[in-house]
């Protein structure tokens, strides 16, 4: 196995965005690259692939101008032989071309995609796939998950072409940037199965950028024989702009997972201890939804959370988990809905002013899935907490120290939120909601964009809040983690009727 070592620096005229002394790429091996959102995983990969615009950026690779890297034999080879799956599919798909046309552009034209598409759309009819092929991409059409699978299909078409290349010395560098971010575990596992089945036929170089640490379990359970060809790496921050790539121990994750479980404290199951009860059936946006106690969705049940208890709400993407959370918080107006929160009943006829006066930030707080939606990007980190001073039980520095190192706090305290990394925004998002000290805490994808160190820190903080009596409603695609942590009796399922 040969290893390429790259020194990379990406800067604007004003500042260095990201710099790394040694970014290793392993020939004909697969690397899973973890790390905090916004730390530079995508940017470094794009730099190596040749996708950065030097009209806005100054890029050096191995201390040489970017054009030298772009003209190198390796860079030319990988652009000819490989494919880059972008994190946001809409940035790749052309809204003026049908999906079928884009699936057959350029070097993809002579590769039949029927088998790949049918595999990625398991159990779909020919008419479903034919309809998708005729679509002109728009923001919500096809769905986010379908757009991801379309890009994955393109990558596998290119991979098929590479496998048919008779040049045994041809270089490859397939990049999959969050390829399963909008997919549930079933489709994620289909992706992994297709990836490794291709790899077994002809080895290639690939980097999979992901926040899904549960991929490790799937690889060890299903592809253990291929572990010698797999690298788990994590990008870590050295200072504000400099990063390093470190080995990530699969055993550390697996051992932590095996030892992790939250046990509900001994709380009397009386009405006095009930924080939230949501009636099983509700409707919104002309859709009828129902909460169930069993995975088969046969036993309707109210969603009940007691003091010091955590409930995990499960459903595929797009069914309505976040919608239900926003109904509880009074952000969405339902067609029909009943709940009891902290001893008071609310329904679709309750005036919206009640939520503002009694619930929002008082009885309940919510961590939104996307930090950008809930934070004022033009406010500084310090200003983000100014309105909460009377609610906070500790000073701001102590609060930030829960999830930030002191040297980072000193760097960001007076910085606008807009200039923080995705992972830093998410930690700020969490800490601001924790500071409200509400009886109910709703968490929509609380681990979004976090590295493993901060995943463990956030979960420890949530456990402390729970043990202190806070009721938690958890919404997350991190199924393996939360199914391990949370008692199966506290798992509910949401489905459309």
CATH class of the domain at 271-496 = alpha beta
Do the first three CATH levels of 3-259 and 271-496 match, i.e. the same topology? yes
Is the pLDDT assigned to residue 196 strictly greater than 60?
yes
203 pLDDT band (50/70/90 cuts)?
Answer: very high
> pTM to 2 decimals?
0.88
Task: Give the start-to-end residue ranges of the domains of the chain.
Answer: 3-259, 271-496
Q: Which pLDDT score is estimated for 87?
A: 87
Fold of 3-259: Rossmann fold (3.40.50)
- Answer yes or no: are the C-beta atoms of 37 and 426 closer than 8 Å: yes
For the stretch 373-427, pLDDT in tens is 889 999 999 999 988 888 888 899 999 999 999 988 998 999 999 989 889 999 9
pLDDT in tens, 290-349: 999 999 999 999 999 999 999 999 988 778 999 999 999 999 999 999 999 999 999 999
């Amino acid at each position: 196995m040969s290893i390429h070592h790259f020194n990379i620096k990406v800067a604007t005229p004003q500042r260095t965005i990201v710099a790394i002394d040694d970014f290793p790429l392993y020939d004909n091996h697969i690397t899973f690259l973890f790390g905090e959102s916004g730390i530079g995983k995508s940017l470094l990969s794009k730099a190596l692939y040749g996708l950065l615009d030097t009209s806005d950026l100054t890029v050096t690779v191995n201390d040489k101008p970017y054009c030298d890297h772009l003209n190198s034999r390796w860079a030319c080879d990988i652009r000819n032989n490989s494919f880059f799956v972008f994190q946001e599919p809409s940035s790749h798909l052309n809204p003026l071309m049908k999906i079928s046309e884009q699936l057959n552009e350029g070097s993809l034209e002579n590769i039949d995609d029927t088998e790949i598409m049918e595999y990625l759309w398991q159990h779909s009819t020919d008419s479903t796939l034919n309809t998708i092929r005729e679509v002109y991409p728009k923001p919500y059409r096809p769905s986010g998950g379908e757009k991801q699978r379309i890009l994955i299909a393109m990558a596998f078409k290119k991979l098929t072409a590479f496998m048919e290349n008779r040049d045994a010395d041809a270089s490859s560098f397939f990049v999959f940037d969050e390829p399963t971010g909008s997919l549930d575990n079933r489709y994620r596992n289909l992706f992994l199965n297709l990836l490794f089945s291709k790899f077994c036929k002809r080895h290639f170089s690939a980097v999979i950028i992901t926040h899904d640490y549960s991929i490790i379990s799937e690889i060890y359970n299903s592809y253990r024989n291929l572990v010698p060809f797999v690298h788990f790496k994590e990008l870590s921050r050295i200072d504000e702009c400099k990063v390093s790539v470190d080995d990530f121990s699969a055993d550390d994750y697996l051992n932590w997972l095996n030892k992790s479980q939250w046990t509900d404290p001994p709380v009397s199951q009386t009405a006095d201890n009930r924080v939230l009860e949501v009636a099983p059936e509700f409707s919104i946006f002309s859709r009828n939804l129902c909460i169930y106690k069993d995975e088969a969705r046969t036993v309707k049940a109210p969603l009940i959370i007691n003091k010091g208890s955590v409930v995990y709400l499960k459903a595929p993407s797009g069914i309505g988990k976040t919608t239900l959370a926003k109904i509880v918080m009074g952000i969405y107006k339902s067609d029909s809905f009943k709940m009891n929160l902290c001893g008071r009943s609310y329904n679709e006829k309750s005036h919206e002013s009640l939520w503002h006066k009694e619930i929002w930030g008082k009885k309940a707080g919510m961590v939104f899935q996307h930090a950008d939606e809930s934070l004022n990007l033009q406010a500084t980190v310090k200003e983000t907490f100014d309105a909460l001073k009377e609610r906070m039980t500790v000073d701001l520095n102590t609060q930030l120290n829960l999830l930030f190192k002191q040297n980072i706090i000193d760097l960001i305290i007076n910085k606008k939120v807009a200039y923080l990394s995705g992972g830093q925004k998410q930690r700020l998002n969490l800490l601001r909601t924790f500071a409200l000290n509400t009886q109910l805490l709703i968490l929509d994808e609380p681990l979004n964009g976090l590295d493993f160190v901060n995943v463990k820190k956030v979960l420890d903080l949530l456990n402390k809040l729970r043990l202190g009596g806070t009721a938690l409603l958890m919404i997350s695609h991190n199924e393996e983690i939360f199914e391990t942590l949370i008692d199966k009796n506290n798992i509910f399922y949401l489905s459309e009727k």
